[in-house]
Amino acid sequence: MDILDIIDKKEKEERLTKEELKFVIDGYLNGSIKDYQMSALLTEIDLLGLSEEETIDLTDIMLKSGEVLDLGFENATDKHSTGGVGDKTTIVLAPLVASLGVKVAKMSGRGLGHTGGTIDKLESIKGFQTSMSLEDFKAQVNKINIALVGQMGNLVPADKKIYALRDVTGTVDSIPLIASSIMSKKLASGASNIVIDLKVGRGALVDNLKEAKELANLMVKIGKKNNKNTACILTNMDEPLGYAVGNSLEVIEAINTLKGNGPKDLTNVVIILGTQMVSMGLNIPQEEALEKVKENLYNNKGYQKMLEWIKAQGGDITNIPVAKHSKIIFSPQDGYISEINALEIGKLSRKLGAGRLTKDDKIDLTVGLVLNHKVGDYVKKGENLLTVFYNEKEVSETEVLSCYKFSENLVEKPKLIIDIIK
Ligand code: URA
């Protein structure tokens, strides 16, 4: 077998066999296939796609390139977000469903680019430990139903290497490559049930509905093929989720949401995703799961579980730090807010220091932006639009206002839950 023949075959849009795909992945990992050869193949795949069978084969090969966790308990339920701006859903959802008896053994990532990461957010809590041994991880889930840490073990090394190359060769946005990358990692994490929050919109990995549905269908098929219950919820990411953007600011909003005082959009996403997780995790009908989720969101049990979880990982949620300075940005006119560009708000948050441009950048966990209004709200000139929390780095009023559009006419609130595919 020869990598040039394989690239040539793909160029002719012929199906690659599982053996050929394995030859490519093994060869790239052991260095016999070079970056430039892999990059040529990834570009072909980005342009021409992969068939469903090829994608399922590729996922299986990537999955088996490293360790596959055996969590040791049945029915563990995982949740994944494809990443958005202000997306603190996991911090609310994980303790909420754990309070209902669902086992959540979760690994999360750090932020990169304009999107944040759950691990960075949790590290803004004083003392919170984001790493532990596999034994301690399992023991904590057994005891309190929840543990959440950064990546551990040598899971899917093929994805680490290929993703880094995709990042610098403009091949991140290929649907089959995204599906195999996400699903290989989810399958390696050992959960039986997988719920994916697929963000769609300006601040998301996928910005159009057609591609989002294609990706969702593909991930659900891969999950089922591997005997995992899999559901994909398509949610809107044109504007930030909730009001807070920035690590510690988002943790504060997540805590308030678990106390039943969360923003409407975040609360709705939590309820919809929670219903899927509880239905799968406890093997009960959706309607029953929905009732249970709502109950524990408003009776303080989800919040109590969060306190237990944070304490178990060494954290203390009293006095979550917030940046030293703040300034309010006022509305320049009367009108309905018709746009708050999630991508641009995410970039401003990064500019303040809350996010990274490269993997090794140090970040400021206390800075960010807190919206005072959402799309569809009516504001008067001079009203508070948003507060910037900053330390050393600042953003200007002009930069903030360029994220906004206004309309004289009534603007409908965007539809948040776009579709559920399972
Ligand atoms: N997130 C992943 O884990 N992989 C991708 O390819 C894209 C987003």
Domain ranges in the chain?
A: 3-48, 77-312, 325-407
**Domain 77-312 class in CATH:** alpha beta
Is 159 labeled as catalytic in the residue annotation?
A: yes
Question: Would you say residue 336 has pLDDT above 90?
Answer: yes
Q: Which of 79, 110, 185, 186 is catalytic?
A: 185
**Which CATH entry fits the domain spanning 325-407: 3.10.20.30, 1.10.1240.10, 3.30.930.10, 3.90.1170.30?**
3.90.1170.30
Is 114 labeled as catalytic in the residue annotation?
A: no
Q: Rounded to 5 degrees, what angle do the CA atoms 41, 46, 47 make?
A: 100
d(CA 422, CA 415): 20
Q: Cβ of 362: how many Cβ atoms within 10 Å?
A: 6
Task: Assess whether the C-beta atom of 205 lies below 6 angstroms from ligand 1.
Answer: yes
Q: Are 366 and 248 in contact (CB under 8 A)?
A: yes
Task: Assess whether the C-beta atom of 215 lies below 6 angstroms from ligand 1.
Answer: no
Atom of ligand 1 nearest to the CA of 109: 3
Question: Would you say residue 115 has pLDDT above 90?
Answer: no
Please name the fold of domain 3-48. Answer: 1.20.970
Task: Assess whether the C-beta atom of 179 lies below 6 angstroms from ligand 1.
Answer: no
Tens digits of residue pLDDT in 39-69: 999 999 999 999 999 999 999 999 999 999 9
Question: Would you say residue 195 has pLDDT above 90?
Answer: yes
Is 166 labeled as catalytic in the residue annotation?
A: yes
- Tokens representing 106 are 């979760």
Among residues 374, 388, 378, 340, the alpha carbon closest in space to that of 265 is found at 374
Q: By alpha-carbon position, which residue is closest to atom 2 of ligand 1?
A: 182
Split at pLDDT 50, 70, 90, the class of 174 is very high
Is 110 labeled as catalytic in the residue annotation?
A: no
- Predicted confidence at residue 291, as pLDDT, reads 98
Flag whether the pTM goes above 0.75: yes
